[in-house]
Amino acid sequence: MIESIDAISLNFDPGSLLALNLILGFIMFGIALSLRVSDFREVAKRPRAPLIGMLAQFLLLPAATWALTRLLELPPSISLGMILVSSCPGGNISNLIAHLSRANTALSISLTAVSTAAAVFMTPLNVSFWGSMSPDTAALLTDFNLNPLDMFLNVLILLGLPLIAGMSLRAKFPTLADRALKPFKILSILLFIALVTIAFQSNFSAFVAVIGIIFLPVALHNALAWAVGYSAAKAARLPKEDVRAVAIEVAIQNSGLGLVLTFAFFDGLGGMAVIAGWWGIWHVIAGLTMATIWSRTAS
């Protein structure tokens, strides 16, 4: 079964992929409606928590993910799929999870924005670097002729342009942006949930066929992400609400971006696609579970 996992083709036709791209852009635009250039200045003035979050997100997690893939001795495509997911910025529902968890939601929003902007550079860099660290995954990069510059341009279009557009609207028409902010957030979350639900239903048989292979790696990987974010923030002695926000940002990854990049640069390679697809489902389950626990605890 492991040998045939790459032969699995998820049911994502061009229309579905276009819809996913548009929803990602829509979500990023909605996040940007709440952001001003001054917000980034404020982050720069109080950089400790954001720096810890970025360190955990783009340095510690990809490194720990690579180590986990070596420890588990996974098939190359699954390993590379995990590296790709770990290289993505914070996911679109992280701010909601932060709010439900009584975490520092403002920090969560700032981290999402900063990590999204940084992902334009850091996602291609991490995939290329950590993917090349092992012969089996390096062979996949060579087989698909991955060009970090091409991935950079793709991520720039997917994330960077909507972010710039949203912040520009906020700067020129702040009243309009304020009115649109809440509807955009609600609609973006509903669209994402709908897309995940439809994708899962459309590919139910594929997930059932590989769940025995991908369930444990994804569960361990996500648990590792929670541990990395939480431990890094705790080690830096951040306040409780900031610790939770950092842990959430590191553990809730933009797996939708990972799925788009899998189809854009790896021809929808089965192992990578099912990892990104299942992660998108699992991190919602794990995130809501943690939110339920944290919302009921004082520390």
Residue with the larger pLDDT of the pair 21 and 101 = 101
Residue pLDDT, tens place only, 184-228: 877 877 776 776 676 667 667 777 777 888 899 999 999 999 999
* 255-266: average pLDDT: 83
Give the pair of three-digit tokens for residue 172.
């020129």
Residue pLDDT, tens place only, 121-148: 899 999 999 999 999 999 988 877 767 7
Q: What is the pLDDT of residue 14?
A: 59
User: Alpha helices, DSSP H only, in 56-93?
Assistant: 61-72, 76-86
Residue pLDDT, tens place only, 190-202: 776 776 676 667 6
Q: What is the pLDDT of residue 147?
A: 73
0.85 surpassed by pTM: no
Cβ atoms of residues 5 and 274 within 8 Å: yes
Q: What is the pLDDT of residue 171?
A: 86
Amino acid at 255: S
Q: What is the pLDDT of residue 2?
A: 47
Residue with the larger pLDDT of the pair 17 and 169 = 169
* 246-266: average pLDDT: 88
Residue pLDDT, tens place only, 172-184: 888 888 888 778 8
| CATH number listed for the domain at residues 5-11+52-159+203-295 | 1.20.1530.20
Please determine, for residue 237, whether its predicted confidence score (pLDDT) is greater than 50.
Answer: yes
Cβ atoms of residues 251 and 97 within 8 Å: no
Residue pLDDT, tens place only, 268-283: 787 888 898 888 889 8
User: Alpha helices, DSSP H only, in 87-104?
Assistant: 94-100
Please determine, for residue 1, whether its predicted confidence score (pLDDT) is greater than 50.
Answer: no
SS3 163: helix
Q: Which residues contact 165 (CB under 8 A, 6 or more apart)?
A: 29, 32
Give the pair of three-digit tokens for residue 299.
């520390």
| Residue 30: how many other CB atoms lie within 10 Å | 23
Cβ density class 91-129: b for 16+ within 10 Å, e for less = bbbbbbbbbbbbbbbebbbbbbbbbbbbbbebbbbbbbe
* 240-266: average pLDDT: 89
Give the pair of three-digit tokens for residue 199.
């994708």
Residue pLDDT, tens place only, 33-69: 877 777 667 666 778 899 999 999 999 999 999 999 9
In percent, the amount of the chain with pLDDT more than 70 equals 86
In the block, tokens 């992902």 appear at 119
Q: What is the pLDDT of residue 157?
A: 79
Among 114-118, 121-125, 240-244, the least confident range? 114-118
